[in-house]
Structure 1
Amino acid sequence: MSAKVATELGIPCIAEQAEIETNLSLIAGKTGLVDGNGSIDRKEQDPSDLGVEVSDESIDESEVDEEHPIGKVIVDFIHRVLDIEDCARLFISSAIDTYNLKYDELFAELDACSLDPDCISSAAEKIVNMREVAQVLRKLERHSKSLPIDTMERSLFVNIFSCYDKFVGELVFAIYRCAPHLYKNINRDMPLSEVLNYASIDDLKEVVLDKEVESLRRKSYIEQFKEFENRFGLPLTKFESWPNFVEMGQRRNLFTHCDGIVSKQYLQICKEQNCKVDKSVNAGDQLKIGGKYFFSACHVAAEVATMLGQTLWRKLIPDDLEVADISLNRLIFDFLQDESWKNAISLSKFALSLPKISKEVYKRMYAVNYAIALKAIDQPAAAKSVLDKFDWSATTYDFRLAYEVLVGDLDLASDLMVRLGQDGEFITELSYHDWPLFRDFRETEQFYNGYEAVYGYKYSAKLAEIVESKIQDADEHPHVAQ
């Protein structure tokens, strides 16, 4: 197993959704033993003793990156959702401040020009003053009726689905290009005269697939999922957040076509799909969004897209199973790195529920990542429960170290650092500085002692060196927004 896998042992991509508290609708591997001298005695182990499935056909993870067509489509969509979240946090908060400041400025302007009539000597001055007051009052009226917060909020919400629609099309294209045999399942009539217009069969296939995608995009999300289920022969809607996703899509339709006014169709579809809709909501009411709902929608969209892409990928291209595992594990790792615990938890649960995982090592990584996120939200018992479904005693020191860190046996964890040595199967020196697995452990005396025993110098010394290197790299390669 290459060192690249080490970065997948989350051991930590959307920061945990910090809700905008303001009501947005307001505002009018290798093992090592210590010998008697304290030095590391390397011992070779039979791979079968490590508790990790080994195959002669293992994929070199260093050759796998996010540029796999399907993996790239999923990751690109996740980043678009992250962009939308960032815009909400930055610009809606700023808009709230600007809106309130404008009110203060207008009232100050009104106070300045609303003079006591007795203090105005001439009729001409009174007329000018009255005009100034009337002008400010018009500005106040316009400002009181403006809804910049709602407008921005709705625009960002609708944009989630614009990006999702693009994702669905790109996902279909990527799947068919990776599995061209699937073209046989497309049944579309086309006149011979039109067929003869294309220079090659590849051109024809591209046009036919493009028409399929356009037809799919015109369907509702419920119809899209049924289409996928019927075409590819697998269930796709049996997951917890499906009703939430359906309701989000229906709400998007309301904001797109009727300013958020509830329709009987919205209520009927939500009822059929067991969506949770407030009992007080009736046809004719106007829906709002708000910070809590908005960020929850972002989370659900990212989750649904990932699960859809991963499920179809694994079903339709089974030879890519390990590549799909690597891609999914990296995505979870990124969420952990960004301390987006909710996303990491939902995708880890999905990963562990998959009917087939390429290797035991990835299943254990999913479990470790799941436990990291649970512990981070102060659920240590739940984290231990996830880990205890596995036997870690026969695994590599890397996994055993991960287990002890997560269950809180810090003295044993420190001892395992020394046994592991400077480079394990997955864990290297930089792992101790970067991995979410060690987020809390890095603040303990046991960690500092173990680190110094392994590398011969203090953790703080290496940390300073890393920081200096990053600063220098940033100076040499400044990033400028396009």
Structure 2
Amino acid sequence: MTNNADPNFSRIIEVFINRIQGLKMSFPIVINAFENSEKEIQQKFINFASQQSITQTDTTITIPLESATNFKQLWQENMSLSLASNIIKRNFIISLVSEFDIHLANLVKAICLTKPEILNSSERHLSFKELIQFKTLDEARNDIIDREIDGLLRDSHAEHFKWLEKKLGIDTLRKFSSWSNFIEITERRNLFVHCDGCISTQYLTICQENNVDINDYKLGAWLQVDETYFNNAYKCIFEVGVKLVHVIWRKLKPEERESADTALNNLAVDILTSNDYLLANLILDFAMQEPSIFKKMADGTKLLVILNKAQTLKWEGKNQDAIDNLLKDTNWNILSDEFKLANAVLIDNFDDAYQIMKKIGNNSKMISKIHYREWPIFREFRKSQQFLQGYEEVFSEPFDQPSLLNEEPLMPLSNAENN
């Protein structure tokens, strides 16, 4: 749990993302390993059956007496591995929700440290005997906070959000587009932990109260997890976890709004670099549609968000008209050359992009050699003759023969002054 007396909301998001990304990366590796092992056991079983004159009808299996022990062992291995595969898939959802709960605990800790008056109405109390055991008031305060968090986490996830809304005076925390999906995921996790995945009345009731589409779900049916469900759950938990912090961050620390806006845009760029356009869209739409964020952004950051949204549409294969409509309300001609270049490549005006690229040269504080090589916005431009020629003219080396030993790692396009 975060114990910094000056909570770092950016760090809270970073830790959360790193942890759930580890789960996302592990899921296909683990599942593929199980599937390969299942195939091996099944093949061993088939080979054994053919070698030992084992016969099967619709109702019975005939096994030579001397083969019974080995048959039973292989049968048990096959059944156990199949069951384990389902259990492991479920455990990934359990772990995903657990990571969200850890994230929530870190966030609540930061909230209480930033706004300690929240604890004024807390029902958590220390006796005199307990109080004198602490060496400092900070230790006593942290104990009260930990008790508040422990009590909060024992409630449902819907109650967690109600607590945050009440304590912070925010009425939008349950209005995320993925709220219903989030509730279904957390309630499915509860079924896996407590009911072996069997649909209960409580699951149906809570899902109905939160507008979850459960028309196909029946009481007593069994829920499982496949790759599609896990990937959707990951995106939902990612989205809700990030949005939650960004709304609260700006509420509690308005003086850090510019840093928060930059962090949100940079996160979208990171996601774009990994080609996860659905998740990038979720984050960028949040940045553009959340009333407390986009309207209050600095102009430069707002332009970067627009550019990143436009390139997300482009890489998704959306109609060029949609991209043009997004860009047309901005007069790119009065902005810096770096912004002009970004707009030119998005609308596939590679001739102009080439000229702007040469004008910018190799001393830009916004766009360096590594940006030209790796920045997603230049993806199609990099395939053009105009780019290859411009790159060699600017950096005095061919694009396919880079000398990047002294280059810094790729950083998102910065918010430079608009010229």
Equivalent residue, structure 2, for 1:249: 186
- The answer for the alignment partner of 1:132 in structure 2 is 67
Q: Write the distance in 2 (CA, Å) between the matches of 1:182 and 1:89.
A: 42
CA–CA separation in structure 1 for the residues paired with 2:121 and 2:312: 41
Candidates 188, 200, 210, aligned match of 2:146: 210
Q: Which amino acid aligns with 1:322?
A: E
Residue range with higher mean Cα deviation, 176-185 or 158-167: 176-185
Q: Distance in 2 between matches of 1:284 and 1:244?
A: 21
Please tell me whether the aligned partners of residues 114 and 133 of structure 1 are also in contact (alpha carbons under 8 angstroms).
no
Match of 1:76 among 5, 9, 15: 15
SS in 2 for 1:459: coil
Alignment of 1:28-427 (within 5 A): 69-114=8-53, 130-140=65-75, 142-144=77-79, 146-180=82-116, 182-184=118-120, 186=122, 188-235=124-171, 236-277=173-214, 279-354=215-290, 355-356=292-293, 357-379=296-318, 380-427=320-367
Is contact 2:12–2:103 with CA below 8 Å preserved after alignment? yes
Letter paired with 1:240: S
Contact kept in structure 2, 1:397 and 1:424, CA below 8 Å: no
CA distance in 1, matches of 2:187, 2:30: 25
Distance 1:429 1:68 in 2: 35
Q: 2:385, 2:104 → 1: CA distance? A: 49
What letter matches 1:249 in structure 2? Answer: T
Larger radius of gyration: 1
Q: Which segment drifts farther, 166-175 or 217-226?
A: 166-175
Which residue identity lines up with residue 314 of structure 2 in the other structure?
A: K
Q: Is the 8 A contact 1:396 1:425 kept in 2?
A: no
Matched AA of 2:71: V
Shift of 1:461: 2.3
Deviations 1:116-137 (A, max 9, x none): 9xxxxxxxxxxx9632245224
Q: Which 10-residue stretch deviates more, 153-162 or 417-426? A: 417-426
Structure 1, unpaired ranges of 5+: 1-66, 117-127, 471-482
Distance 1:390 1:275, change over 3 A: farther
| 1:242-296 superposed Cα distances (whole Å, 9 cap, x missing partner) | 110011111111111001111111111111111122x231111111221111100
CA distance in 2, matches of 1:240, 1:115: 56
Say if 1:398 and 1:425, in contact at 8 Å, map to a contact too. no
Alignment of 1:438-449 (within 5 A): 438-449=378-389
Quote the residue 2:414 is aligned against.
Answer: none
Q: Distance in 2 between matches of 1:226 and 1:335?
A: 30
Q: Cα deviations across residues 404-431 of structure 1 (Å, max 9, x unaligned)? A: 1111111111111112222334112221
> CA contact under 8 A between 2:199 and 2:219: conserved in structure 1?
yes
Alignment: residue pair count: 389
Distance 2:207 2:13 in 1: 27
| Distance of aligned partners of 1:176 and 1:280 in 2 relative to their CA distance in 1, 3 Å threshold | closer
Report if the CA contact (8 A) 1:329-1:366 is conserved: yes
The one-letter amino acid paired with 2:367 is I
Quick one: distance in 2 between partners of 1:382 and 1:82?
A: 31
From the superposition, tell whether residues 303 and 230 of structure 1 become closer, same or farther in structure 2 (CA, over 3 Å): same
Q: Greater shift after overlay, 107-116 or 418-427?
A: 107-116
Change in 2 beyond 3 A, CA 1:181/1:458: farther
Shift of 1:374: 1.6
SS in structure 1 at match of 2:220 = coil
Structure 1 residues 358 and 195, CA, compared in 2 at 3 Å: closer, same or farther?
farther
1:460 match: secondary structure = coil
2:41–2:74 CA contact under 8 A, matched in 1: no
Which sections of structure 2, spanning at least 5 residues, go unmatched? 1-5, 56-62, 408-419
Shift of 1:455: 2.4
- TM-score, normalised to structure 1's length? 0.76
Identity %: 28
The amino acid that maps onto 1:264 is T
Conservation of the 8 A alpha-carbon contact between 2:310 and 2:346: yes
Structure 2 distance, partners of 1:197, 1:453, is 71
- How far 1:222 sits from its partner (Å)? 0.3
Secondary structure of 1:446 counterpart? helix
Deviation, structure 1 residue 231 = 0.4
Deviation at 1:193, TM superposition (A): 4.1
Q: In 2 relative to 1, CA 113–187 (structure 1 residues): closer, same or farther, beyond 3 Å?
A: closer
The one-letter code matched in structure 1 to 2:146 is D
The residue aligned with 2:410 is none
Report the 3-state secondary structure (helix = DSSP H, G, I; strand = E; otherwise coil) of the residue aligned with 2:332: coil
RCO higher in 1 or 2 (8 Å CA, sep ≥ 6)?
1
In structure 1, C-alpha distance between the alignment counterparts of 2:65 and 2:125, rounded to whole Å: 73
Do the aligned partners of 1:179 and 1:317 also contact (CA within 8 Å) in 2? no
Give the whole-Å Cα distance in 1 for the aligned partners of 2:406 and 2:46.
52
Report runs of 4+ in structure 1 exceeding 4 Å deviation.
178-187
Q: Following TM superposition, by how much is the alpha carbon of 1:185 offset from its aligned partner in structure 2, in angstroms?
A: 6.0
Q: Give the aligned residue type for 1:166.
A: I
Please state whether the residue corresponding to 1:213 is helix, strand or coil: helix
User: Could you report, residue by residue, the CA deviation over 1:147-180 in whole angstroms, capped at 9, with x for unpaired residues?
Assistant: 2221110011110011111111111222333455
**Preserved contact between residue 372 and residue 406 of structure 1 (Cα < 8 Å):** yes
